[in-house]
Homo-oligomer: A and B are copies of this chain.
Amino acid sequence: MTSPVIGIFDSGAGGLVVMKALIEKLPHVSIVYFGDTARLPYGDKSPAIINHYACTSAAFLAAQAVNMLVVACNTASAYATEMLRKELTLPVIDVIAPSVAMACRQSKNGKIAVLGTYATINSGCYQKLITFLYPGAEVTAIACPLFVPLIEESMTDHPATALIVAEYLRPLRSAGVDTVILGCTHYPLLNAVIAAEIGEGVTIIDSASCCAEQTFQSLTDISSTQIAETPSYRFFVSDNVERFRKLATAFLPALPSELDVRLALHD
C-alpha cells in the first residue's frame, strides 16, 4: 500500500500556507496542488460562478487520483463545500469548519470575531457555523478587503497598515470578544499588527493551521499505516506558471529546488 495523496485546491497561491502546514505535519504524504490563477480571485464572483469554478477545479484534482480534497480557499469553502461533498466520492476538508470548531472550544464567553474577505463574510458561513456549535454565541464578523492587497504589497510594517487595521477592527473595541478567527489564508502575515490592535487576552485562531490539523486527523482515519516513501509534490495552475513557481519556491524552501509546476484547465 502506498501512502495517500492529498489534493489541495485554491483560487491562487494562498493555499500554499495550508500546504506548508500539511508538509510539516505529514512529511511522507504526496500532495497535488491546483491554483485557479486564470480565474482568481473567487471573492468578487457570484455564488453560481464560484460553484462552477470550484467544481471544475475539484474535478481536475479528482482526476489526478487524490484520496482526499482540501479546499484551501475560504470563498470556495463558504460557497461550494456542500456541493463538492455531493459531487465527489472523496473526503472533502474545508478551511472554515476546523477553525470554527477550534474557536468554539477555546472561547470562554462565546464572544467570537471573524475577519475575512467580503465574499467570505457575506456568505454568513462562519456566523452560522459558530452559532450552531456554540448556541448563544455573539459573532462580530468584519470584512477586511484591504488586508490581502496590503500583504501582497509587503506593507505589513507600514504605518498605513496599522491605521487600516485599527479602522477595520474598531467594532472589536466594545464587543468584548475573547477569540478572533483569521478567516483568510493570508491574514496570519498580519498577526502582529492585529494582536497589537486587539490587545492581550484574546486568542487568535488561524484557519490554515486548523485546516491542516483536521486533514491530519482525517487522514489517520482513512489510512492507519503511513509508508515512509519519498513523497511527491506536483503543482498545476490555470495561468502564470512561472510566477507561481517563483512564489511556491520562495514559500516552500524545504522542497526540491525545481518544482513541478504545469499549466492545466487553461481556457
Contact = CB atoms under 8 A, between A and B. Distances in A.
Interface string A52-88: 1100000000000000000000000000000000000
A46 B155 CA distance: 24
A90 to B, nearest CB: 24
Contacts of A153: 145-146
A237 to B, nearest CB: 10
Interface centre among A37, A44, A52, A159 (most CB of B within 10 A): A44
Contact of A44 (B40, B161, B164): B40
A153 B38 CA distance: 25
A20 to B, nearest CB: 22
Given A146-B153, A149-B146, A239 B46 contact: yes
How many chain A residues sit at the interface, stated as a range, is: 20 to 34
A53 B153 CA distance: 26
Interface in A167-192: 167
B49 A267 contact: yes
A53 B267 CA distance: 9
A49 B37 CA distance: 10
Interface string A21-53: 000000000000000011110001110110011
Nearest to A159: B163
A160 interface: yes
Contacts of A146: 146, 149-150, 153, 155
A152 interface: yes
B163 A240 contact: no
A220 to B, nearest CB: 37
Contacts of A53: 267
A131 to B, nearest CB: 27
Contact of A149 (B149, B160, B240): B149
The 10 A-B pairs of least Cβ separation, nearest first, read A160-B163, A160-B160, A149-B149, A49-B239, A160-B164, A46-B240, A46-B239, A38-B49, A146-B149, A45-B239
20 contacts: A38-B39, A38-B45, A44-B240, A45-B239, A46-B239, A46-B240, A46-B243, A49-B239, A52-B267, A53-B267, A145-B152, A145-B153, A146-B149, A146-B155, A149-B149, A155-B164, A158-B163, A160-B163, A160-B167, A163-B163
Given A145-B149, A155-B167, A163-B163, 10 more contacts: A37-B44, A38-B45, A38-B49, A146-B149, A146-B153, A149-B149, A158-B164, A160-B161, A160-B163, A160-B167
